[in-house]
Amino acid sequence: MDIISALFDGSFMPHGHCLKWQADLLFLHVVGDTLTVIAYFLIPIALIQLVRKRDDLAFNWIFVMFAAFIFLCGVTHLMALINIWHGYYFLSGLSKLATGIVSIMTTVMIVYLLPKVIAIPSNKDFKVKNEQLLLVQKELLAANQLLEQRVEARTKELEKLARTDALTGVLNRGGLINNLTDEIDRSVRYKHPLSLLMIDLDHFKHVNDQFGHQRGDTVLIEAVNIVSKASRHSDTLGRYGGEEFLLLLPETNVTEAKILAERIRQDIEQHPFCQDEGLNISLTCSIGVTEYEAGQTQSKLLQTVDRLLYSAKNSGRNRVTVNDDIAAKDP
């Protein structure tokens, strides 16, 4: 208890008691220590709040040590302020000792952390890395756009392949049906004529049997070229199946379609097939011609043109048949 009483005993005031100080000197010490104490007590509060709010900060405990160090510095200045009137120099010494110990501990911890702190990238490093990432991002975006373009092109190519006959390059049956649907809708909407030609190569099986399937493929390709040359750009030609071809003729009535069908029939009849292979194969075709009628279904329209084609074949082949009337060539 004697030691505790001595700690709070103000009888140890040294030379320089405040009663012997000048007023301006006393003012400077009191104001300076007071402001320092306020600052040193507020800074730890701010640091502790920072640690509490930001749990993502690295080395949180070093912030706490700094807070303790600054707080004890504030205590030291507070004791210096009190000692102006009451000489609690033992308590002042204890506060300085505590401040020194915490200061040394903080210094040791900082030295221990130096390698880790130095390893943390600087703002300049972050800027360089960020620029590199932005460059990589641009490259990835460019590569992604190129990939999307290739995928889109490949998708279109696959769609085209799905709708195209691999041998002749014209539409296959599925592609023809899709186009026919569109043409019927357009004909109904604008009340414009639409005609169909169903073309079948006569005795095509004989070509395959006598000259082989490879020559038969050549005949099909040449027949497609003949029909394509006779057709308009707006017309649609497709392979309906085997040696049968369907030609869609928008903006064309049955009379005009009949004239075109006769021209195609003559061109095929007069064409020597497989000349490039040293042969001269003669071939004819039969053609059914019909015009779309209002209210007619697509299925009914195809049945009609197919029936007209077989009417031409049953009437002796190498003929054009329109509405069950055999025309253009006598047997």
Which tens digits make up the pLDDT trace of 208-224? 999 999 999 999 999 99
Measured N-to-C along each axis, helices 213-230 and 254-270 cross at an angle, to the nearest 10 degrees, of 140
Decide if pLDDT at 119 tops 80: no
- Spatial neighbors of 36 by CB under 8 A, at least 6 apart, are 74, 77
Say how far apart CA 18 and CA 84 lie, in whole Å.
6
Strand 285-291 to strand 194-201: parallel, antiparallel, or no bridges (unpaired)? antiparallel
pLDDT of residue 1: 54
The encoded tokens of residue 135 equal 């460059």
CA 259 to chain centre: 52
Q: Which tokens sit at 110?
A: 């900082």
Mean pLDDT of 272-292: 95
> Residues 3-19: pLDDT tens digits?
556 445 545 444 445 55
**pLDDT at res. 186:** 95
The answer to whether residue 50 scores a pLDDT higher than 50 is yes
The arithmetic mean of pLDDT across residues 161-171, rounded, is 89
Residue among 290, 316, 317 at smallest CA distance from 305? 290
Q: What does the pLDDT read at residue 27?
A: 81
> Which range in 146-150, 161-165, 190-194 is most confidently predicted, on average pLDDT?
190-194
Please give the pLDDT value at position 46. 86
Tokens for 241? 């199946």
Q: What mean pLDDT, rounded, does the chain reach?
A: 86
Distance CA 150, CA 4 (A): 88
pTM of the model: 0.58
Helices (H), the chain: 2-7, 23-53, 60-82, 89-119, 123-163, 173-190, 204-211, 213-230, 254-270, 298-314
Whether pLDDT at 114 is above 90: no
Q: How many CB atoms are located within 10 Å of the residue 224 CB? A: 20
Tell me if 310 sits within 8 A of 288, measured CB to CB.
yes
* Secondary structure E strands in the chain: 194-201, 236-241, 244-250, 285-291, 320-322, 325-327
More confident residue, 74 or 162: 74
The strand pair at 285-291 and 320-322 is best described as parallel
- Compute the distance between CA of residue 81 and CA of residue 32 in angstroms, rounded to an integer: 9
51 Cβ neighbours under 8 A, 6+ residues apart? 57, 60, 63, 64
Distance of alpha carbon 56 from the chain centroid: 33
Amino acid found at 9: D
**pLDDT: is 151 or 309 the higher one?**
309
pLDDT of residue 260: 97
Those residues with Cβ within 8 angstroms of residue 167's Cβ, 6 or more apart along the chain or in another chain? 217, 220, 221, 239
Amino acid, res. 188: V
Q: Which residue has the higher pLDDT, 120 or 104?
A: 104
The pLDDT of residue 329: 42
For residue 159, is pLDDT > 70? yes
Paired with 248 in beta bridges are 196, 236
Is residue 169 pLDDT above 80, yes or no? yes
